[in-house]
């Protein structure tokens, strides 16, 4: 390897932030994804990079209640990554939130690592609420957790879950949607990563799932469709969900229109990057592009 890969020990607080701060964090998360996937020589680049902006706001914008130093505290909110193969972006977010040392990101998919190809409870990794990766199942687990919070524990805890749009081809997700609405789970936020890409092509070509907003509305959800790379829209969507959790009887669905491989010119909106890691040349180019975006932001801030 002709270039040095390290993971700075930077962590971030979970608080209200400026758009520029979220941009900086998302760049850090994307760097982590590129580095860890290159070292692993396997894994999913596209969706991990495409959802980095959403993870930056959710984990570091004061919307998800957690304590990384005491992560099993009962008052925590839950996050379930139903689309488990984009685990690299979840691991990066947990590391930067202080759940474990960022240097552990270098062990992704290695034998004996806690950072498995899909999140797993069997390795005792802080921040992982359930094993996931069998598509269509994670959202049902999230519905169960929201049910328990609302009717058994009677708490104001929230549950967030993320699915891919290709995952909506699984019939079980619509059973979960029906249950969420039937039980009035206003404490449930379902994020759909709507990049219209899956491993075999465009979602609309493989198995057309559209129109999405109308479908979720028909299932009884309060639906917000946003640009998943626009921080103001992401913030507004999560703010609306938290208000709905207190004042509504409907679960919330955030349909986030994203681009697979966002931030990397040769990956963006290309479904062939669904489950492919960068090689050395590609990793170097990707990191250079992210550094350029960082430099442009810093220059812009100085000019302002």
Determine the average pLDDT of the residues in 284-294: 95
pLDDT tens digits for range 125-147: 999 999 998 899 999 999 999 99
pLDDT tens digits for range 204-238: 999 999 999 999 999 999 999 999 999 999 999 99
Residue 7 forms part of a structural domain: no
- pLDDT above 90 coverage of the chain, percent: 93
Residue 205 forms part of a structural domain: yes
pLDDT given at position 302: 56
Quick check: 20 and 57 in contact, CB under 8 A? no
pLDDT given at position 41: 96
Domain count, the chain: 1
What CATH number did the domain enclosing 183 receive?
Answer: 3.40.50.970
pLDDT given at position 245: 97
Residue 297 forms part of a structural domain: yes
Determine the average pLDDT of the residues in 100-108: 98
Q: Which two tokens stand for residue 142?
A: 């999230």
pLDDT given at position 106: 97
Residue 226 forms part of a structural domain: yes
Residue 29 forms part of a structural domain: yes
Residue 10 forms part of a structural domain: no
- Total count of residues recorded for the chain: 304
pTM for this model (two decimals):
0.96
Residues 6+ apart with CB under 8 A from 253: 189, 190, 191, 192, 216, 221, 222, 223, 224
Q: Which two tokens stand for residue 297?
A: 């932001």
Print the domain residue range for 269.
19-303
Residue 267 CA to residue 282 CA, distance in Å, equals 10
41 to 1, 52, 73: CA distances (angstroms):
13, 20, 35
Q: What is the mean pLDDT of the chain?
A: 95
pLDDT given at position 2: 54
Residue 201 forms part of a structural domain: yes
Determine the average pLDDT of the residues in 100-115: 97
Q: Which two tokens stand for residue 118?
A: 């899909």
Phi, psi angle pair for 163, to nearest 5°: -120, 160
- Tell me: pLDDT of 3 over 70: no
Residue 3 forms part of a structural domain: no
């Amino acid at each position: 390897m002709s270039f040095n890969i390290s993971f700075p020990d930077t962590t971030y607080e979970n608080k209200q932030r400026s758009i520029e701060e979220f941009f900086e964090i998302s760049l850090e998360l994307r760097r982590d994804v590129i580095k860890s996937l290159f070292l692993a020589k396997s894994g999913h680049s596209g969706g991990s990079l495409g959802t980095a902006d959403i993870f930056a706001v959710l984990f570091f914008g004061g919307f998800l209640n957690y304590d990384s130093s005491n992560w099993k505290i009962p008052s925590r909110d839950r996050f379930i990554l139903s689309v488990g193969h984009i685990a690299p972006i979840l691991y990066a977010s947990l590391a930067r939130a202080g759940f474990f040392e960022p240097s552990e990101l270098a062990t992704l998919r290695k034998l004996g690592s806690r950072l498995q190809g899909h999140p797993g409870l069997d390795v005792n990794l802080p921040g992982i609420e359930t094993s996931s990766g069998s598509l269509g199942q994670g959202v049902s687990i999230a519905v169960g957790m929201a049910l328990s919070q609302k009717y058994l524990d009677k708490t104001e805890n929230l549950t967030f879950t993320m699915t891919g749009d290709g995952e909506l081809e699984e019939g079980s997700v619509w059973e979960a949607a029906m249950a969420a609405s039937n039980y009035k789970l206003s404490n449930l936020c379902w994020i759909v990563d709507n990049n219209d890409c899956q491993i075999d092509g465009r979602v609309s070509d493989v198995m057309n799932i559209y129109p999405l907003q109308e479908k979720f509305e028909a299932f009884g959800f309060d639906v917000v469709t946003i640009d998943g790379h626009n921080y103001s829209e992401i913030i507004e969507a999560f703010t609306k969900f938290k208000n709905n959790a207190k004042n509504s009887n409907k679960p919330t669905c955030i349909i986030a229109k994203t681009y697979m491989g966002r931030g990397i010119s040769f990956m963006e909106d290309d479904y062939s990057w669904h489950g492919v890691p960068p090689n050395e040349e590609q990793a170097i180019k990707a990191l250079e592009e992210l550094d350029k975006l960082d430099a442009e932001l810093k220059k812009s801030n100085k000019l302002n």
